[in-house]
Amino acid sequence: MPVAGRRGPALRRVAVAVVCLSMIGLGLFGWAMSGPLAQAQGSRVLVIQVEDTINPVKARFIQRAIERATESGHQLLVIEMDTPGGLYDSTRKIVESMLESGVPVAVFVSPRGAQAGSAGTFITAAGHIAAMAPGSNIGAATPVGGGGEDLEDTLADKVTNDAAALIRSIADERGRNADALEATVRTAASYTAQEALDEGIIDLTADNLNHLLNELDGRVVVTIAGEQTLLVANAAVDELRMQWRERFVNFIANPNIAFLLISLGSLGLIFEMMTPGTLGPGIAGVICLGLGFLALGNLPFNWAGVAFIGLAVALAVLEVFVSGFGALGVGAVVSLIIGGFLLFGSFGGGSIPVNFPEVQVSLWVLAAVGGVLALGAGYLLLETVLSRTGIRKPAPASGFSDSDGRSSAGHLIGQTGVVTAPLRPRGIVALGNETWSSESSDGMSIPVGRRVRVVGVDGLLLTVEVIGASAAVEGQE
């Protein structure tokens, strides 16, 4: 009896172990067979939508879709496209990815009324299957400059020949009408869906995605991985969307938004320099500038425009250390507007890559930004004149200053204040509730926080000296 009692628990442990191992074995067997079994039960199709301008974000999205379709065992990748065109470099990368794809790629220009303009013509032609919805159109792939303008003769010949060679090579690879496709580059030819089908530019027309899959069922497609027969009539359709990061970058990769981000970032830094220690405007400015340059990285920008915007910032910073809002401030406003106008143009000595749709800052946005800056400049100038000529009585002095708040030149001499932006030898001094552009009397630096006395007035520029100590401070001799 004791022996049997000992054997009972041992047998139960063995039985549990056998059951567990059997379940694990069945799980591994099911996992091993899931791929072939799923494929035998039904094929899968991956669908993405590509709309608006073709840019680096769209190029990475299409490359990611091809990789996903390959890794997930999809029988077909369908690109539903509606685009006016895009950047030539991005178009080349997309074409390369499609030509190297081991998964069949079908480009479907849809819905009705959609277009495959310029860059879209290259992408459609590069698909293993090219299809269009009735009422859509394709073509007009002649390269133009970044602002939509015609290129100079020499550059136009060079770029047009390169684009024509690319589209002919795509046509030869996919067995399409090379002459008709080349005409979209050299003469900006455009075709309706039916005309494109008749000319041998596309393979078929379809009303919608289901119609397209039914038409493709049983078709043999040749990829770099070999011949593949499409069995997609009743395929499960998976949709791949842009990630939030891709959508965000695609949103800010807009000429108007990029210009606004750079403008706001520059103004934030300028305001931080005018009011040291506030931190908020400076942090916001740095963030806006970072996002602005991220947007520029996905657009064909011109360095001449960036240089003018940089000049505008420099002039505005210099204006902080000069009395009043004068010529430097006006120059900053003008430079910022010129910078926005040149930022996405192929003129001005820039080395902009050729692109197809018009890429430039809207004149309405330029006018709005210029108007806001001009109003701000006028307000500052008016406040300065009214305050410092005695027409408008300032608020009482703060505890940081012995100033009586009177700004006329006769009353400024002898008043005391505190340095809010270091004098090297020019900076900012607070007198009461006013800030003045000031310079040290002996040309030496005076750090922030030092109390100073006004010893001279030249227009709107004060000459000050340190109270109770030599101006040679902070280690200066």
Whether the predicted pLDDT of 231 surpasses 60: yes
Whether the predicted pLDDT of 6 surpasses 80: no
- Distant-in-sequence, close-in-space partners of 283: CB < 8 Å, separation ≥ 6: 268
Q: Using the 8-state DSSP alphabet, how is residue 54 labeled? A: B
Q: Measured between alpha carbons, how far is residue 455 from residues 177, 294, 397, 412, 462 in Å?
A: 84, 48, 19, 8, 8
Highest-confidence segment of 199-203, 320-324, 402-406: 199-203
Whether the predicted pLDDT of 254 surpasses 90: no
Q: Using the 8-state DSSP alphabet, how is residue 354 labeled? A: P
| pLDDT score recorded for residue 30 | 54
- Distant-in-sequence, close-in-space partners of 135: CB < 8 Å, separation ≥ 6: 112, 113, 192, 193
CA distance 270 to 275: 9
Tell me the backbone φ, ψ of residue 452, rounded to 5 degrees: -135, 160
| pLDDT score recorded for residue 147 | 46
Strand ranges across the sheet with 44-51: 204-205, 129-132, 105-109, 76-82, 44-51, 236-239
Whether the predicted pLDDT of 290 surpasses 50: yes
Structure tokens at 337: 């507007």
Average pLDDT over residues 358-382: 68
Of 205, 202, 145, 151, whose CA–CA distance to 177 is shortest?
202
Residue type, 204: L
Give the HSE-up count for residue 185: Cα atoms under 13 Å, Cβ half-sphere: 24
pLDDT, greater one: 390 or 273: 273
**Lowest mean pLDDT across 160-164, 282-286, 361-365:** 361-365
Average pLDDT over residues 208-225: 92
| pLDDT score recorded for residue 247 | 86
Are 355 and 146 within 8 A, CB to CB?
A: yes
Structure tokens at 119: 């860059």
| pLDDT score recorded for residue 446 | 87
CA distance 465 to 454: 7
User: Average pLDDT over the chain, rounded to whole?
Assistant: 77
| pLDDT score recorded for residue 169 | 94
- H-only helix segments in 73-138: 88-99, 119-126
